[in-house]
Amino acid sequence: MTGSIPSLPRRDPRGHKGTFGTVGVVGGCGAHDVRMIGAPALAALGALRAGAGLVRLIAPGPILSEAIALCPSATGKALPVDEDGALAFGTAVQAFDKATDGCDALVIGPGWGEGGVVQALALRAVQQEDRPLVVDADALNALAKIPELHQDFRARAVLTPHPGEFVRLAQSLKIKLDPTRDESRPHAAAALAQRLGCVVVLKGAGTVVSDGLEAWTCEHRHACLAAAGTGDVLAGVIAGLLAQHAAAMSLFDLARLGVEAHARAGERWERSRGATGGMLASELAEEVPAAVEELRAKI
């Protein structure tokens, strides 16, 4: 399925930042041997550029100020760490619940690293039904290690795997479909969506979005998007749309709109620079507002 997608509502000129939702971005790794700071900041930029009113960066304490420095429009909440800088056992789940309270949508996973605490927090997030959730990157890898995940998965979620992440998660759920071949990608995305009761965004040239009933393929293919960090921006864009519109629109439609806006942002960058490579993910985020505006209802 390709073709038309619904329009986004016009933005209320009387609205304030609370009107347009709060996105919580949970990610980043402060372990001494592996420090990842940029990914959650890029997701936060994506959410803000998609029109979210507020973004809250939720990251390990030692790297929180550095992440906010990359996205100063965000606020921050720190997660506790141990003496090695890794997320702390025992207190992280309670801190996660407190830090995410009041968020209208979440992104989990960008630059999160690995380990038992990451797995526990990822499972905690997908067990909750109170708000929509984007599951990306290391959160997908953590969930792939949980036996019988489908029995615990209750969230209204959008999963955003690239083919490698898809394979790891699909294998754990006994799904045997190739996420790399054009003819099998829609079936692969649909199978995972059906298994977990979620929406799947299977990234790649011709990104596929499926809710298990329908599968839609993005017609845009822009080489500039094959760059580090663009997936983090996409996760943020989708979460930004969820925070604003999930009460009135389906997750399937909002995921499609997020993918379309992200692709059009890449197209705009290529057109403005006269290039198909060399794009920074932060530059992609700069193109998102105009791309989103193209998708709004005109009357």
Q: What is the pLDDT of residues 236-278, one digit of tens each?
A: 999 999 999 999 999 999 999 999 999 999 999 999 999 999 9
Residue 232 has φ and ψ, to the nearest 5°, of -65, -40
CA distance 154 to 218: 27
Residue with tokens 């996973």: 109
Residue 287 has φ and ψ, to the nearest 5°, of -90, -10
What's 97's domain CATH number?
A: 3.40.1190.20
Q: How many domains does the chain have?
A: 1
Cβ partners under 8 Å of residue 238, min gap 6? 50, 134, 158, 160, 201, 254, 255, 258, 259
Query: If you average pLDDT over every residue of the chain, what do you get?
Result: 97
Q: Which helix (H) or strand (E) holds 56?
A: strand 54-60
Q: In the structure, what pLDDT confidence band is assigned to residue 33 with cuts at 50, 70 and 90?
A: confident
**Residue 1's pLDDT is what?**
60
For residue 224, tell me if it sits in a domain: no
For residue 299, tell me if it sits in a domain: no
In this predicted structure, the answer to whether residue 102 has a pLDDT above a threshold of 70 is: yes
For residue 39, tell me if it sits in a domain: yes
In this prediction, residues 150-162 reach a mean pLDDT of 98
For residue 78, tell me if it sits in a domain: yes
Cβ density class 186-225: b for 16+ within 10 Å, e for less: bbbbbbbbbbbebbbbbbbebbbbbbbeebbbbebebebb
For residue 5, tell me if it sits in a domain: no
For residue 110, tell me if it sits in a domain: yes
For residue 252, tell me if it sits in a domain: yes
In this predicted structure, the answer to whether residue 68 has a pLDDT above a threshold of 60 is: yes
Domain coverage including residue 44: 18-218+229-294
Q: In the structure, what pLDDT confidence band is assigned to residue 34 with cuts at 50, 70 and 90?
A: confident
In this predicted structure, the answer to whether residue 299 has a pLDDT above a threshold of 80 is: no
CB 109 within 8 A of CB 140: yes
For residue 223, tell me if it sits in a domain: no
Residue 158 DSSP SS3 = strand
